[in-house]
Structure 1
């Protein structure tokens, strides 16, 4: 039997899984536009390591039912994001490994997805696995990227930093002292 050729951008999911096929490769991070858009301005995505990925189809036999269709998606790479503490670039390593179950219809996917740990998707004729991999990388990005310990001291430009507050405290009048003076009928400063 002739082995089928599969491409990730137009993946015939059902046959890929039934053949228990696998695909792997790598893409430049800058080719994944939404992923690259998360870059720190000082470190654009064209300087990031390539995204390595792997797809594996798996048929899971069941008693008294048709086999389940499963797809494993793995990806790894790195991204330079902006640290939310010091506003300098911070490198984040990303490793993703997810299983997706494919079922016959959107209704079946919605009902199973609510109770399953893994994601359940409706079977489509062609799946853009590249887009699916990019989605998983985006979901793996930290909500608040930051260094373990920032390489540079925090700048005092914010005005609300603790270092500034100690210096200003001596010069600012205490608002409660003013209120106390008003209650006594005395002059305020």
Structure 2
């Protein structure tokens, strides 16, 4: 079942999970302000967008209430600054992870230390785009770079190290003479 009418900025998450519904959408990168600040937008198509999906699921637990889970998936191609040549490098950002929802912040903190999956306190309303943006930013490469840069970074001649024309052994002999005195 797919939810037909929803607001990704104010998603009523509990019915989505209990009814095992799926919501999905396309959100322009420009609308995700923090992500947009980290990319080289001038080297991306103006219509570049994040394709995303959230799927709710109740998982049965023997002798207890079912656990509330949501599968979060997103994909986008962005341009980042290559740390070698400082030019644009295309990176594919993708996420596909499960998030467990619990009733309180205290329960979330306790389980977060035990589980590999993300654990969040169940909010009344969830801004799914904010969660997606957080996860995409966390998934960005720490040092984006080309495999082989298209152009090497030019080094100004004035910045090249000056190599003395003096014989290095003559310099050592001069030092030896000063130490002997």
TM-score by length of 1: 0.83
Contact 1:24 1:55 in 2 (8 A): yes
Show the 5 A alignment for 1:166-185. Answer: 168-169=162-163, 171=165, 174=168, 178=171, 180-185=173-178
CA distance in 1, matches of 2:16, 2:178: 86
C-alpha displacement of 1:157: 3.6
Please give the secondary structure, in 2, of the residue aligned with 1:81: strand
C-alpha displacement of 1:13: 1.3
- The count of aligned residue pairs is 177
C-alpha displacement of 1:41: 6.5
Contact 1:48 1:78 in 2 (8 A): no
Contact 1:27 1:51 in 2 (8 A): yes
CA distance in 1, matches of 2:167, 2:40: 41
Please give the secondary structure, in 2, of the residue aligned with 1:8: coil
Say if 2:43 is the partner of 1:20: no
Residue 86 of structure 2 corresponds to which residue in structure 1?
87
Show the 5 A alignment for 1:1-189. Answer: 5-40=5-40, 42-43=42-43, 47=46, 49-157=48-156, 164=160, 168-169=162-163, 171=165, 174=168, 178=171, 180-185=173-178
CA distance in 1, matches of 2:157, 2:25: 45
C-alpha displacement of 1:28: 1.1
> Which range moved further: 10-19 or 176-185?
176-185
Contact 1:100 1:119 in 2 (8 A): yes
Structure 1, unpaired ranges of 5+: none
Contact 2:41 2:79 in 1 (8 A): no
C-alpha displacement of 1:49: 2.4
Change in Cα spacing, 1:183 to 1:139, as seen in structure 2 (3 Å) is: same
Change in Cα spacing, 1:25 to 1:85, as seen in structure 2 (3 Å) is: same
Would you identify which runs of 4 or more consecutive aligned residues in structure 1 move more than 4 Å? Answer: none
Structure 2, unpaired ranges of 5+: none
C-alpha displacement of 1:30: 0.8
C-alpha displacement of 1:47: 2.7
Contact 1:42 1:89 in 2 (8 A): no
TM-score by length of 2: 0.87
